[in-house]
Amino acid sequence: MRVGIGHDTHRLAEGRPLILGGVRVEHPRGLVGHSDADVVLHALTDALLGAAGFGDIGDAYPDTDPAYRDCDSAKFVRETQARLNQAGWHVVNVDVIVFAQEPKLGPIKAAIRASLAGLLGLNVADVNVKAKTGEKVGAIGRAEAIGCQVVALIDR
C-alpha cells in the first residue's frame, strides 16, 4: 500500500474554457495552460505518479511537446492509471481539494466527483471532492488562479 500527493495551480483568463475534473463549467474565464489546463486532473495524475514512484507529470507529459497542446487531460489520468495497473497497482481511493474563489464550486462538486469516479473506474464513495475558497487573499483569493491538491492511495 502506498500513498501519493499531487498539487497544481493554473491562471484564470478570458477566452478559455473552464474544465475542472473533466467537467465543463460555465464561467466567463477559464484556465490557461498548454493542455486543456484541467488543474484537477493534473493534480490527480501527479498523485498517481507519486504513489507509484513514477516521477511527475512534467517528466511524463512535457509542456514543450506539441502533442499535448489543448490535449484532454483525461488522457494523462488514463495512461497513468494503465501504467500503475501494468505494475500491479490499483487505486484504492482519492481525496481532492479544489481551491477557487470563483466560480462557486458547491453546486458542481458532485459532478466533479462523479466524473473522477467514472474516469478512474471507482465507486463515488472512493472519490472525495472538497472545495475551498482562497479567503480573498493571494492569487487564488483574488480569483486570478485555481489550485488543486490530491492524495491517492494505491495497493497491489
Report how far residue 80's alpha carbon sits from residue 72's, in angstroms, rounded to the nearest whole number. 14
State yes or no: residue 46 binds Zn ion (CB under 5 A).
Answer: no
What angle is formed at CA 78 by the lines to CA 77 and CA 80, rounded to 5 degrees?
65
Q: Measured from the CB atom, is 70 or 155 closer to Zn ion? A: 70
| Residue 70 DSSP class | T
**Cα pseudo-dihedral 134, 28, 21, 68, rounded to 10:** -110
Among the residue ranges 36-44, 102-110, 115-123, 146-154, the one whose residues contact Zn ion (CB under 5 A): 36-44
Among the residue ranges 20-28, 40-48, 81-89, 113-121, the one whose residues contact Zn ion (CB under 5 A): 40-48
Of 4, 8, 48, 113, the residue at the interface with Zn ion (CB under 5 A) is 8
Give residues 70-129 in contact with Zn ion (rule: CB under 5 A).
Answer: none
Of 4, 22, 42, 115, the residue at the interface with Zn ion (CB under 5 A) is 42
User: How many chain residues interact with Zn ion (CB under 5 A)?
Assistant: 2
Cell of 126: 472512493
Report how far residue 20's alpha carbon sits from residue 144's, in angstroms, rounded to the nearest whole number. 16
**Where on the chain is the footprint of Zn ion (CB under 5 A)?**
8, 42
